[in-house]
Amino acid sequence: MRCPGALDGFFSSLLPATPPWRPGPEPALALLAWLALLFVWYCYRVGSERAPAGPPPGGGRPAPSLPPGAGRRSRSLRAYAQRYSWAGMGRVRKALREELRPERPAIQSPRVFHLPELPSAPCFPRDAQRHDAELLERACPALLREYQAVAGGAARGWTPGPCQRFYLHRRGVCQPQHCRACPRTYRALAGLRTFLSANRFGNACFSVLQPGTVLPGRYGPTNVRLRCHLGLMVPPGCELVVGGEPQCWSKGHCLLLDDSFLHTTAHNGPPEDGPLVLFIVDLWHPNVAGAERQALDYIFAPGP
């Protein structure tokens, strides 16, 4: 009689040996399939975020085009970075990339250049540019006398229109004859620390608004500047609304506003009240860094 162990050995010799368990290719194939789906989803998202190269099929609104000068500005930034450095250029590069995107709040819409991530408000406290505000306020009597001289004399160069202006700096370019006519004003400008003197966004001028004049709502060209209004002659009945917020001028005091916000101006007084006279000068926004200012002076250098 055979023992059970011998029978087990006999039957096991007739059956095929069971191979040891090894992981098959199924998990790797599942991982590859998941990665392929993820890649397809990513391509769909990127493609949907980009504007189409031409008009959509079946008609409709064509894809937005680059604003005038956008390509030149990008080339200028690259030339600046090659000469100096890319350090501190993050917001400037982002601004040039986002020039196609119109989804800015309607109350603020700079016409030429928008620097992202800048703290924004229709008006800023005087302390935002305290040194320059105090310098202009101390010079106010001299500026008023020089305005009266060029307004009452035979000085040429006043711009025509509902708001007449006499520029000492226009779009970053000094006006030598006007500066010679107003030496104290020119000296005050030279003492400012944040004047946009080398930039197309920089202006300095006497501004005159006659009674009964209303300037409709408009936007300034950029949010990198603060426009400083120094009141020289401020009759009653004058109104300024910036970003939906009413503001008021005061003789001998500076008002700092971000004119990239929608703003309107009106002189509702009678003729006997005389004109509203301001000295206007463009200063850097206090949160634009030094490296960004240097790059923007390079990109928006005065010229044709």
Sequence-distant (≥ 6) Cβ neighbours of residue 122 within 8 angstroms: 242, 243, 244, 245, 247, 257, 258, 261, 263
Is it the case that residue 237 has pLDDT exceeding 80?
A: yes
Give the pLDDT score at 24.
58
**Range scoring the smallest mean pLDDT among 6-15, 192-201, 257-266:** 6-15
pLDDT, mean of residues 290-296: 94
Q: Do residues 296 and 195 make contact, with C-beta atoms less than 8 angstroms apart?
A: no
Q: Which residues of 225-244 are buried (b: 16+ CB within 10 A; e: fewer)?
A: bbbbbbbbbbbeebebbbbe
Give backbone dihedrals phi and psi of 246, rounded to 5 degrees, phi first: -70, 140
State whether the Cα torsion 242-112-90-79 is positive or negative. Answer: negative
298 burial type by CB count under 10 A (0-12 exposed, 13-18 middle, 19+ buried):
middle
Residue 63, CA distances (Å) to 50, 54, 66, 111 in order: 10, 6, 10, 19
Please tell me which residue, 166 or 80, carries the higher pLDDT value.
166
On whether the 123-288 domain is CATH 2.60.120.330, my answer is: yes
Give the pLDDT score at 299.
93
- Nearest-10 Cα torsion for 188, 190, 191, 196: 110
Please tell me which residue, 32 or 289, carries the higher pLDDT value.
289
Please tell me which residue, 44 or 214, carries the higher pLDDT value.
214
Neighbours of 157 (CB within 10 A): 14
The chain-wide mean pLDDT, for the chain, equals 82
Give the pLDDT score at 173.
96
Task: Quickly tell me which residue has 């209004």 as its tokens.
Answer: 229
Q: What is the DSSP letter of 272?
A: G
Task: Quickly tell me which residue has 């300095």 as its tokens.
Answer: 204
Give the pLDDT score at 57.
40
Please tell me which residue, 184 or 33, carries the higher pLDDT value.
184
Give the pLDDT score at 154.
60
Please tell me which residue, 292 or 80, carries the higher pLDDT value.
292
pLDDT digits (tens, 9 = 90+) for 44-76: 665 544 433 444 344 444 434 445 555 777 777
Q: Which residues of 77-89 are buried (b: 16+ CB within 10 A; e: fewer)?
A: beebbeeeeeeeb
Please tell me the distance from the alpha carbon of residue 8 to that of residue 169, in angstroms, as a whole number: 107
What's the longest Cα–Cα distance across the chain?
141
pLDDT digits (tens, 9 = 90+) for 238-285: 999 999 999 999 999 999 999 999 999 999 999 999 999 999 999 999
Strand arrangement, sheet containing 173-174: 123-124, 254-257, 225-233, 276-284, 204-209, 163-170, 173-174
Q: Do residues 108 and 243 make contact, with C-beta atoms less than 8 angstroms apart?
A: yes
